[in-house]
Chain A
Amino acid sequence: MMISSAIIPQPLARLPWRLIWLVALICTIGVVTLFSAAGGSWSPWALKQAVTILAFFGLAIGISYIPERFVKQVTFPAYAAILILLIVVEMVGFVGKGAQRWIDLGFIRLQPSEFMKPAVVLVLARFYDLLPASDIRRWRGLWPAALLVLVPWTLILVQPDLGTATMVLVGGVSIMFVAGLPMWYFLSALGAAAVAGPILFSMMHEYQQKRLLIFMNPEADPLGAGYHVSQSKIAIGSGGIWGKGYLNGSQSHLDYLPEGHTDFVFATYVEEWGLIGGVMLIIAFAMVVRWGMGVSRKARSRYSQLAAAGLSMTIFFYFTVNLMMVMGLAPVVGIPLPLVSFGGSAVMTVMICLGLLMGIERQSRTRSALA
């Protein structure tokens, strides 16, 4: 769906407008919800979020103009740099005797782990791009990739940031999957997890077991650890089909819903907009992911195929894990809803992903046009 008109200048017309409208819709929902979460006020969240989104959208457009060649070249150095940053942060945190995850740049607090999400995808795409096709089913097709994923994963896990670590892992694994590693790797890993799960559970501390059990049944401890999820489900369920109406969500406005502007923003939104609004948002996200997967399928180089698939998967995991968590289908791991939750990091990550995807899309288009 290209807008091709004589009035609109060429560079503008070439932007993937379908995606941009979708992203604009999602971001608008986010800002509007943040406006409501603040009790009908632009401060402290809605305005700041709008500015952040515009800034990072500009960044994404900028990224989309970077040639694939250059991205390929900087993939390994960037990965290494982020890995070093991760270690530095770890050291600083260790020296400062605190769990510090970020570097303060004044206007934004940068979390290296946030950059690691797209970086892992790109570095694995690059690795499988370089790997000869015949090696893909060999040992050497697995272990360097595994190392590239597990090292940052371990570093992030010990921060401790289970949510981000999981996303890095899953992002890496999905690249390995589409890269064509033997299926039995994945099946046996799944099988091993199924067996190890109960064993791990029995080895866990009592409080850890309790936390897991509360995830299974949050109502068992509605005022303690299950409070977030209980209140979130109340907010979502009480919205019904049509919602309570904009600015009328009692759960969020009366502070019963904790983190209603960050991780649980979806509950704030659905309480007021109901099932209809919720489904609309999910479909919008699904279409963004579908667009990304489409970019991957149409991409001309193996690197861009894999990178686009991985970046789409990252976005997919982002919103899926958040929504499952908010609706009580997954444990509370602290992953925000991208582009909707207040906070710069998630917007930045997703915009970087989208920028890279737009770049790949543009290049596949131009190249195909040339061909």
Chain B
Amino acid sequence: MKASRFTAAHQSMTFSRRMMLVGGAQAAFGGVLIARLGYLSIAQSEHYQLLSESNRVQLIIVPPRRGWIVDRAGKPIAINRSDFRVDIIPEQVKYPTATLRTLAEILKLTPDDVDRIIKEFKASRGYQPVQVAESVPYDQYAAITVRLPELPGVVPQRGFSRFYPAGPAVAHLVGFVGAASAKDYEKEKNPLLVTPGFKIGKEGLEKVLEPRLRGQPGGQRVELTARGKLVRELEPKPDRSGQTVQLTIDSGLQEYAARRMGDQSGALVAMDMTGDMLAFVSMPAFDPNSFSDGIGRTEWRMLSEDDHIPLLNKVTQGLYPSGSTIKPAMALAFLKQGIDPAQRVYCPGGIRIGNRYFRCDAVHGSVDMHAAVERSCNTYFWSMGLRTDPQQTTEMVNYLGYGEHFDLPIPTQRYGTMPNPEWLRKKYKREWQGYDSANTSIGQGYVLINPMQLAVMPARLASGKLLQPRLLMADKRQPSPDLAVDPEHLEIVRKAMSAVVNERGTGVGSKLPLEGIQMAGKTGTAQVFKLGQRGHQSNWALRDHALFIAFAPAVEPRFAIGCIIEHGGFGASAAAPIVRDCMTYLFDQQKAMDALAPLEQQWGGTLLERTARRQAQFEAASKASLRA
């Protein structure tokens, strides 16, 4: 009966004891509270201060200025032009509907624009600005500035837009810029990409060089409430412009070549004897200036439906049969395999191989190697092709550049095919036949090259070195060892190429109009469509491609050019004069410009004038389709 002995005295003792326990427990809790407070505000303080700062401060991104692209002499190819833009900050807009109506009226916004703005307005959070319009004309900009007091939340400001002074002439070289797509943002998750007014490289060098050109964004640091309301502005963080990138391109030549090609569809590549690319032209082209603002649907449709394919970079993605431009390389291959250059072949106007008769362009009579290159006699190359080893012959051509892939900062390169017996076995599961040798010897059949290779080939022949093309001044020149051929053999080929232009050859119409400077070259005419009869067709798309490769001066060469004019007919008549004028430009600019002037007059204005006219057409068509 323990419980019955529990008395008031016990109770009092228990009470005191229990009170001490309770007091102890209270003290322990108090200690825990203070310890926890100390842990949070001493040990963890730095961590929580950071979190508190990132709560408090938000960066309104100011896009960095994009780096310039300049040519080898420092002349601008792509620069930034300051323009006016209008954004709105949704948080600060008081009367969304009225504001938007006023803006639409002043800026002449289309219903599409208004829809986009409303959508972005609703999706935007807090202080993130929404773009209303960019490249705003000054009078509209001024009209909005004047009415600012009644338009709270509207921010008219200066921005920068990409500007390419040469317009279409550099379109395929540098590409263009544009607003980042949702996909770009998914990939990078960089808030800079969704900042109004920020553009990224979408094509060409602008795309490949994006990391160098972009720069570091700066920003206005602001203090925001949890609901995104602006409390005050803190000191801004400066932006860092992108780097300037210097190209090996000679912008004068680039623009000249583009203008000289007129409305023809084709490509031209020029190199010097170190491998530097001086011109990289694909025509016709779009205007990259109008692309950077985002082009209209009608303009896009008209560009993509054009049969001269202005949207295709023909230099790296256009593939063509090489035609007779392969012959100097063939000749070198024959020499290497011991063919005597003096050995003659009789050309009766064709040759029978197997059960098929191959027809030459003319009855050349008895020709040696020099004459065969000079006058482009197919019969000689067919019969020599049959006498030599196809594997070794085609390897030599490939060694000189046809079918080769070059390491260049260009997004997509197609590098064609230089067929050989082994390749044929793998690809088509059949043995190399006589007619394969015959086709390859004159650059037909499976032979496909791009215009870059068309310049590398004469550059290698002219320099005697295994040149590698270079596009960026900052890249180190790749080593260019001497070609693994007998220098005497090279000399024979060069002499023959000189004769093409300067003696009785196929390119005599394109002699340089310069004292003491001769050009060496080789014409090429690539069959596009199988026809009994070669030559001019009334149907443009069925006509042969015209090609020309050249270097100058013929002795101690300094420059090499390769050119293809799609459906230009004979190489001598369409491509060679363009190469001649471009070569002239490199030695005497005035003379070259004088040659261009009457041509442009005949075509209806300079390239920029014609581009502007076409732009007006696009706009008219776009308006017409909008009305319809």
- Stretch of A71-79, A80-88, A231-239 that contacts chain B: A231-239
Q: Which of A180, A231, A238, A313 contacts B11 (CB 8 A)?
A: A180
* A327/B51 contact (C-beta < 8 A), A256-B226, A293-B23 known: no
Measured in the bound complex, the distance between the Cα atoms of B52 and A241 in whole Å is 15
* A329/B15 contact (C-beta < 8 A), A236-B40, A251-B55, A316-B26 known: no
**In the complex, chain B residues whose CB is within 8 Å of the CB of A116:** none
Would B48 and A238 count as touching, CB distance under 8 A? yes
- Stretch of A199-207, A272-280, A359-367 that contacts chain B: A272-280
Q: Which of B10, B18, B40 contacts A237 (CB 8 A)?
A: B40
* A178/B51 contact (C-beta < 8 A), A137-B2, A275-B37 known: no
**In the complex, chain A residues whose CB is within 8 Å of the CB of B48:** 233-238
Question: Does chain A have a CB within 8 A of B537?
Answer: no
Chain A CB within 10 Å — which of B5, B51, B223 has the most?
Answer: B51
Whose C-beta in chain B lies nearest to the C-beta of A329?
B36
**In the complex, chain A residues whose CB is within 8 Å of the CB of B224:** 254
Question: Does chain A have a CB within 8 A of B603?
Answer: no
Interface string of B35-56 (1 = CB under 8 A from A): 0111011101101110111011
Would A137 and B47 count as touching, CB distance under 8 A? no
Would A320 and B19 count as touching, CB distance under 8 A? no
Measured in the bound complex, the distance between the Cα atoms of B36 and A174 in whole Å is 25
Measured in the bound complex, the distance between the Cα atoms of B25 and A320 in whole Å is 12
Q: List residues 260-309 of chain A with CB under 8 A from any CB of chain B.
A: 270, 274-275, 278-279, 282, 286, 289-290, 293, 296-297, 302, 305, 309
Interface string of B50-89 (1 = CB under 8 A from A): 0111011000000000000000000000000000000000
Question: Does chain B have a CB within 8 A of A28?
Answer: no
Measured in the bound complex, the distance between the Cα atoms of B207 and A349 in whole Å is 70
Interface string of A168-180 (1 = CB under 8 A from B): 0000001001111
**In the complex, chain A residues whose CB is within 8 Å of the CB of B363:** none
Measured in the bound complex, the distance between the Cα atoms of B37 and A240 in whole Å is 10
Q: List residues 1-43 of chain B with CB under 8 A from any CB of chain A.
A: 2-8, 10-11, 14-16, 18-19, 21-23, 26-27, 29-30, 32-34, 36-38, 40-42
**In the complex, chain B residues whose CB is within 8 Å of the CB of A256:** 52, 55-56, 225-226
**In the complex, chain A residues whose CB is within 8 Å of the CB of B21:** 177
**In the complex, chain A residues whose CB is within 8 Å of the CB of B22:** 174, 177-178, 293, 309, 313
* A254/B11 contact (C-beta < 8 A), A241-B41, A297-B19, A329-B36 known: no
Question: Does chain B have a CB within 8 A of A136?
Answer: yes
Question: Does chain A have a CB within 8 A of B227?
Answer: yes
Question: Does chain A have a CB within 8 A of B231?
Answer: yes
Would A240 and B56 count as touching, CB distance under 8 A? no
Would B34 and A240 count as touching, CB distance under 8 A? no
Would A240 and B6 count as touching, CB distance under 8 A? no
Would B40 and A133 count as touching, CB distance under 8 A? no
Whose C-beta in chain A lies nearest to the C-beta of B23?
A293
Chain A CB within 10 Å — which of B4, B30, B231 has the most?
Answer: B30
Q: How far is the CB of A29 from chain B (nearest CB, A)?
A: 15
Q: How far is the CB of B254 from chain A (nearest CB, A)?
A: 54
Q: How far is the CB of B170 from chain A (nearest CB, A)?
A: 48
**In the complex, chain A residues whose CB is within 8 Å of the CB of B47:** 237
Would B55 and A270 count as touching, CB distance under 8 A? no
* A278/B41 contact (C-beta < 8 A), A137-B6, A240-B49, A250-B52 known: yes
Measured in the bound complex, the distance between the Cα atoms of B51 and A125 in whole Å is 48
Would A274 and B41 count as touching, CB distance under 8 A? yes
Q: Which of A138, A238, A278, A289 contacts B49 (CB 8 A)?
A: A238
Would A282 and B32 count as touching, CB distance under 8 A? no
Whose C-beta in chain A lies nearest to the C-beta of B21?
A177
Would A133 and B8 count as touching, CB distance under 8 A? yes
Chain A CB within 10 Å — which of B16, B29, B32, B47 has the most?
Answer: B29
* A282/B34 contact (C-beta < 8 A), A235-B52, A254-B225, A274-B41 known: yes
Would B33 and A250 count as touching, CB distance under 8 A? no
Question: Does chain B have a CB within 8 A of A54?
Answer: no
Question: Does chain B have a CB within 8 A of A134?
Answer: yes
**In the complex, chain A residues whose CB is within 8 Å of the CB of B41:** 236-237, 239-241, 270, 274-275, 278
Whose C-beta in chain B lies nearest to the C-beta of A227?
B226
Question: Does chain B have a CB within 8 A of A221?
Answer: no
Q: Which of B14, B19, B225 contacts A296 (CB 8 A)?
A: B19
Q: Which of A137, A289, A327 contacts B36 (CB 8 A)?
A: A327
**In the complex, chain B residues whose CB is within 8 Å of the CB of A347:** none
**In the complex, chain B residues whose CB is within 8 Å of the CB of A250:** 52, 55-56, 223
Q: How far is the CB of B461 from chain A (nearest CB, A)?
A: 68
Q: Which of B14, B30, B227 contacts A282 (CB 8 A)?
A: B30
Would A236 and B56 count as touching, CB distance under 8 A? no
**In the complex, chain B residues whose CB is within 8 Å of the CB of A305:** 15
Whose C-beta in chain B lies nearest to the C-beta of A323?
B33
Would A309 and B19 count as touching, CB distance under 8 A? yes
Q: How far is the CB of B22 from chain A (nearest CB, A)?
A: 6
Whose C-beta in chain B lies nearest to the C-beta of A237?
B48
Q: How far is the CB of B289 from chain A (nearest CB, A)?
A: 44
Measured in the bound complex, the distance between the Cα atoms of B44 and A275 in whole Å is 12
Measured in the bound complex, the distance between the Cα atoms of B2 and A136 in whole Å is 11
* A133/B10 contact (C-beta < 8 A), A238-B45, A238-B52, A251-B52 known: yes
**In the complex, chain B residues whose CB is within 8 Å of the CB of A239:** 41, 45
Would B36 and A238 count as touching, CB distance under 8 A? no
Whose C-beta in chain A lies nearest to the C-beta of B50?
A238
Measured in the bound complex, the distance between the Cα atoms of B56 and A250 in whole Å is 7
* A320/B56 contact (C-beta < 8 A), A137-B2, A241-B42, A278-B41 known: no
Measured in the bound complex, the distance between the Cα atoms of B41 and A327 in whole Å is 11
Whose C-beta in chain A lies nearest to the C-beta of B13?
A180
**In the complex, chain B residues whose CB is within 8 Å of the CB of A293:** 19, 22-23, 26
Measured in the bound complex, the distance between the Cα atoms of B15 and A237 in whole Å is 40
Measured in the bound complex, the distance between the Cα atoms of B38 and A241 in whole Å is 8
Q: How far is the CB of A200 from chain B (nearest CB, A)?
A: 24
Would A279 and B37 count as touching, CB distance under 8 A? yes
Measured in the bound complex, the distance between the Cα atoms of B47 and A279 in whole Å is 21
**In the complex, chain A residues whose CB is within 8 Å of the CB of B40:** 233, 236-237, 327
Whose C-beta in chain B lies nearest to the C-beta of A240?
B45
Interface string of B102-130 (1 = CB under 8 A from A): 00000000000000000000000000000
Measured in the bound complex, the distance between the Cα atoms of B49 and A174 in whole Å is 40
Would A255 and B225 count as touching, CB distance under 8 A? yes
* A134/B7 contact (C-beta < 8 A), A237-B48, A254-B226 known: yes
Measured in the bound complex, the distance between the Cα atoms of B15 and A302 in whole Å is 10
Would A178 and B18 count as touching, CB distance under 8 A? yes
Whose C-beta in chain A lies nearest to the C-beta of B16?
A297
Q: How far is the CB of B93 from chain A (nearest CB, A)?
A: 21
Measured in the bound complex, the distance between the Cα atoms of B58 and A250 in whole Å is 13
**In the complex, chain B residues whose CB is within 8 Å of the CB of A235:** 48, 52
Q: List residues 98-145 of chain A with CB under 8 A from any CB of chain B.
A: 133-138
Measured in the bound complex, the distance between the Cα atoms of B5 and A239 in whole Å is 57
**In the complex, chain B residues whose CB is within 8 Å of the CB of A158:** none
Q: List residues 315-371 of chain A with CB under 8 A from any CB of chain B.
A: 316, 320, 323-324, 327, 329
Measured in the bound complex, the distance between the Cα atoms of B23 and A309 in whole Å is 10
User: A-side interface residues toward B, CB under 8 Å?
Assistant: 133-138, 174, 177-180, 231, 233-241, 250-251, 254-256, 270, 274-275, 278-279, 282, 286, 289-290, 293, 296-297, 302, 305, 309, 313, 316, 320, 323-324, 327, 329
4 tightest Cβ-Cβ pairs between the two chains A and B = A237-B48, A238-B52, A180-B14, A137-B3
Identify 28 residue pairs between A and B in the complex whose beta-carbon atoms are under 8 Å apart, listed by A's number: A178-B18, A178-B22, A180-B6, A234-B51, A234-B55, A237-B52, A238-B45, A239-B41, A240-B41, A241-B45, A250-B52, A250-B223, A254-B225, A255-B225, A256-B225, A275-B41, A278-B41, A279-B34, A279-B37, A282-B33, A289-B26, A305-B15, A309-B22, A313-B22, A320-B30, A324-B33, A327-B40, A329-B32
- Beyond A134-B6, A180-B11, A297-B19, 20 additional pairs, beta carbon < 8 A: A135-B3, A137-B2, A177-B22, A178-B18, A233-B40, A234-B48, A237-B51, A238-B51, A239-B45, A254-B56, A256-B55, A256-B225, A279-B38, A309-B19, A316-B26, A320-B29, A324-B33, A327-B33, A327-B36, A327-B40
